């Protein structure tokens, strides 16, 4: 028997897409294992949304092979659509309906029947903390509520593969954490998640594998740990109260960048607790005024992998 676990939920080989002369995706290869979370990390204009649109049957690729749930989204959109759910960057909700009406609309389109649809709607409203606002028009919802409703609508049809295009962009930190929690619960239920994000922290928190997209090509791919090893941006900063303490600490540590004006030392840090313990041991009781840990951000990733900073907002794809 051929097990479905051997088949990737999403597969792309040599995927290309251009809009006129503008090459958006320039030969993408990726495999997303069933039941895993895959993050596509990249700045605005790197081609993330175009990638999601191709995988979710909204756009057709110019060249390359694509399989989603075993089917080609370009030539067999039907079975792909039946297997996927999409939550886009901009809330795909009907602003003129209430939260409950939006969910019932989805239930009707999935042919769940009248009673079944209402049951599913109220269950999702409860689970996403929207029960209280269920009778209010979506236009009055906050950004976080709209995003939760958006995801709830995606879940009405119980998709096996879920695409989340920048699920937390524009959300406040609290709504972002709520969203992360919801995504983790989804993963626990066995679905495959393909998400795009601009935030390294988000990919780190949620994803099993991360691919870094820059100007339409994947510049790195691996687990969060593998990726971080490539990035020298993480460091620990120590501040001392006078120049002599700074001097002794610098001698004790060896490889550190000294700044005499601010009395600080900057030491490369790989994010492991053991490295921090080793560092403190080597300081051997020297009085430290202040210790801060700096984890790499997307700028560090880009600088390390591409040698240039994020390209910024050049194309709204």
- Which residues would be at the binding site for another protein (CB under 8 A)? 19, 56-60, 78, 81-82, 84-86, 88, 90-97, 101-102, 105, 108-111, 137, 153-154, 157, 316-317
137-142 long-range contacts (CB < 8 A, ≥24 apart) are: 137/95, 137/96, 137/97, 137/98, 138/93, 138/94, 138/95, 138/96, 138/97, 138/98, 138/99, 138/102, 139/95, 139/96, 141/99, 142/175
- Taking the least distance from each CB to another protein, the nearer of 36 and 146 is 146
Residue 94 CB, nearest approach to another protein (Å): 5
- Taking the least distance from each CB to another protein, the nearer of 307 and 316 is 316
- Taking the least distance from each CB to another protein, the nearer of 137 and 303 is 137
Residue 114 CB, nearest approach to another protein (Å): 11
Residue 109 CB, nearest approach to another protein (Å): 5
- Taking the least distance from each CB to another protein, the nearer of 16 and 239 is 16
- Taking the least distance from each CB to another protein, the nearer of 156 and 236 is 156
For 220, phi then psi, to 5°, come to -160, 155
- Taking the least distance from each CB to another protein, the nearer of 121 and 153 is 153
Residue 243 CB, nearest approach to another protein (Å): 58
Residue 193 CB, nearest approach to another protein (Å): 15
Q: How many CB atoms lie within 10 A of CB 4?
A: 11
- Taking the least distance from each CB to another protein, the nearer of 82 and 291 is 82
- Taking the least distance from each CB to another protein, the nearer of 285 and 316 is 316
Residue 81 CB, nearest approach to another protein (Å): 4
- Taking the least distance from each CB to another protein, the nearer of 134 and 317 is 317
Residue 247 CB, nearest approach to another protein (Å): 58
DSSP output for the chain: ---GGGS-SEEEEEEEEEETTEEEEEEEEEEE-TT-EEEEE--TTSSHHHHHHHHTTSS--SEEEEEETTB-TTT-HHHHHHHEEEE-SS--S-TTSBHHHHHHHHHHHTT--HHHHHHHHHHHHHHTT-STTTTSBGGGS-HHHHHHHHHHHHHTT--SEEEEESTTTT--HHHHHHHHHHHHHHHHTT-EEEEEES-HHHHHHH-SEEEEEETTEEEEEE-HHHHHHT-TT-EEEEE-SSHHHHHHHHHHH-S-EEETTTTEEEEE--S-HHHHHHHHHHHTTPPPSEEEEE---HHHHHHHHHSS----SS---
Residue 174 CB, nearest approach to another protein (Å): 25
Residue 105 CB, nearest approach to another protein (Å): 6
């Amino acid at each position: 028997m051929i097990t479905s676990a051997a088949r990737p939920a999403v597969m792309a080989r040599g995927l290309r897409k251009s809009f006129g002369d503008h090459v958006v995706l320039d030969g993408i290869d990726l495999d997303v294992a069933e039941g895993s979370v895959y993050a596509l990390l990249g700045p605005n204009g790197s081609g993330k949304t175009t990638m999601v649109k191709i995988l979710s049957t909204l756009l057709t690729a110019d060249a390359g092979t694509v399989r989603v749930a075993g089917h080609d989204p370009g030539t067999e959109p039907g079975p792909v659509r039946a297997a996927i759910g999409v939550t886009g960057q901009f809330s795909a909700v009907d602003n003129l309906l209430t939260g409950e009406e939006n969910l019932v609309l989805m239930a009707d389109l999935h042919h769940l029947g009248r009673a079944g649809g209402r049951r599913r709607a109220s269950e999702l409203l409860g689970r996403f903390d929207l029960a209280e606002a269920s009778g209010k028009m979506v236009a009055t919802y906050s950004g976080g509520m709209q995003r939760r409703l958006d995801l709830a609508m995606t879940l009405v049809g119980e998709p096996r593969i879920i695409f989340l295009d920048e699920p937390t962009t524009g959300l406040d930190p609290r709504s972002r954490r709520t969203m992360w929690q919801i995504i983790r619960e989804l993963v626990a239920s066995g679905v495959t998640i393909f998400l795009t994000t601009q935030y390294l922290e988000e990919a780190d928190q949620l994803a099993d594998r991360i691919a870094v997209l820059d100007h339409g090509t994947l510049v790195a791919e691996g687990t969060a740990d593998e990726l971080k090893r490539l990035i020298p941006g993480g460091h620990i900063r120590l501040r001392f109260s006078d120049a002599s303490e700074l001097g002794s600490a610098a001698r004790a540590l060896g490889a550190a960048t000294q700044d005499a004006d601010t009395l600080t030392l900057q030491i490369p840090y790989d994010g492991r607790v053991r490295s921090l313990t080793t560092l403190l041991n080597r300081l051997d009781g020297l009085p430290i005024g202040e210790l801060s840990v700096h984890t790499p951000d997307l700028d560090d990733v880009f600088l390390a992998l591409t040698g240039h900073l994020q390209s910024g907002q050049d194309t709204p794809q």
